[in-house]
């Protein structure tokens, strides 16, 4: 049977491979603090706000499959985790997303390419979609987000793609070609998966919410 981290540290102390060199420090307190420090998570900067735009709709369905079987466009798998600024994963956060289809059209009558997801026990959310198309009112391809969780400020933002032709292959230099892209952090790298017949893009987008 595996022993706990705490038991292992106490065993180290008993066998002499861990020792205390501070007066008044008790072994049990020191080992508890050691264990806690190992479990602590790195602080994270809150995700940057970005415009909500005109096409948000309430009450989107809870579905992770946004792409219908014959929908045109490059398949896109988006996943990420929701954190607080202390770096702890947030379970049960609500992630509302909406985007244009491959042709740059939003569904204003129904709920195509719209969803309201919930983060799982490790803060994870994911959905299957297509790379959003460009549309005349906007320079860049993007997916809109509203993320909410109890005890945290609502985050309104957008996800952008480093492969967007607007960036000419160099988002570091060109991300501001879309005046609405005020943060380089929102432009995410793209990974291609599958084979040439089933090629699809994958993008990771972690989001970090500020506490109230």
- For residue 11 the two structure tokens come to 């065993």
Of 84 and 158, which has the nearer Cβ to Fe ion? 158
- Report the nearest approach of Fe ion to the CB of residue 207 (Å): 17
Q: In whole angstroms, what is the distance from residue 82 CA to residue 92 CA? A: 9
Q: How far is the CB of 153 from Fe ion (least distance, A)?
A: 22
Token pair 């508890």 in the structure block, residue: 32
Q: Are 113 and 63 in contact (CB under 8 A)?
A: no
Nearer to Fe ion by Cβ, of 53 and 73: the residue is 53
Q: How far is the CB of 142 from Fe ion (least distance, A)?
A: 6
Interface with Fe ion (CB under 5 A), residue total 1
Alpha carbon 188 to chain centroid, angstroms: 10
Rank residues 53 and 75 by Cβ distance to Fe ion and give the closer one. Answer: 53
CA 61, chain centre distance (Å): 20
Closest contact distance (angstroms) between CB of 212 and Fe ion is: 27
Q: At what angle do helices 27-39 and 5-15 cross, to 10 degrees?
A: 130
Which secondary-structure segment (H or E) carries 148? strand 143-148
Query: Nearer to Fe ion by C-beta: 144 or 152?
Result: 144
Query: In the bound complex, which residue of the shown chain has the CB atom lying closest to Fe ion?
Result: 53
133 binds Fe ion (CB under 5 A): no
Query: Residues near 93 by Cβ (< 8 Å), separated by ≥ 6?
Result: 82, 118, 119, 123, 125, 147, 148, 149, 152, 209
If residue 157 lies in a helix (H) or strand (E), which one and from where to where? Answer: strand 155-161
- Distance separating alpha carbons of residues 132 and 101, to the nearest angstrom: 5
Nearer to Fe ion, 31 or 166 (CB): 166
Q: Show the binding pattern over residues 28-67: x = contacts Fe ion (CB under 5 A), - = does not.
A: -------------------------x--------------
Rounded least distance, CB 143 to Fe ion, Å:
8
Nearest approach in angstroms of CB 178 to Fe ion is 11
> How many distinct helices (H) and strands (E) make up the chain?
3, 10
Between 27 and 74, CB nearer to Fe ion:
74
Residues that bind Fe ion (CB under 5 A): 53
């Amino acid at each position: 049977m595996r022993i706990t981290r705490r038991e292992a540290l106490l065993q180290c102390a008993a066998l002499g491979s861990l020792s205390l060199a501070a007066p008044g420090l008790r072994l049990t307190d020191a080992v508890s603090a050691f264990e806690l420090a190992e479990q602590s998570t790195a602080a994270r900067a809150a995700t940057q706000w970005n415009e909500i735009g005109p096409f948000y709709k309430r009450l989107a369905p809870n579905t992770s499959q946004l792409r219908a079987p014959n929908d045109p466009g490059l398949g896109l798998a988006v996943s990420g985790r929701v954190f607080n600024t202390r770096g702890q994963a947030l379970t049960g956060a609500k992630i509302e997303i909406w985007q244009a289809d491959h042709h740059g059209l939003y569904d204003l009558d129904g709920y195509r390419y719209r969803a309201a997801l919930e983060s799982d026990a490790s803060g994870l959310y994911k959905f299957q979609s297509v790379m959003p198309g460009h549309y005349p009112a906007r320079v860049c391809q993007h997916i809109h987000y509203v993320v909410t969780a109890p005890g945290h400020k609502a985050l309104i933002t957008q996800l952008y793609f480093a492969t967007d032709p607007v960036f000419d292959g160099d988002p570091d230099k060109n991300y501001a070609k879309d005046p609405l892209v005020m943060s380089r952090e929102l432009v995410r790298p793209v990974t291609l998966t599958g084979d040439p017949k089933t090629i699809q893009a994958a993008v990771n987008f972690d989001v970090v919410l500020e506490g109230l």
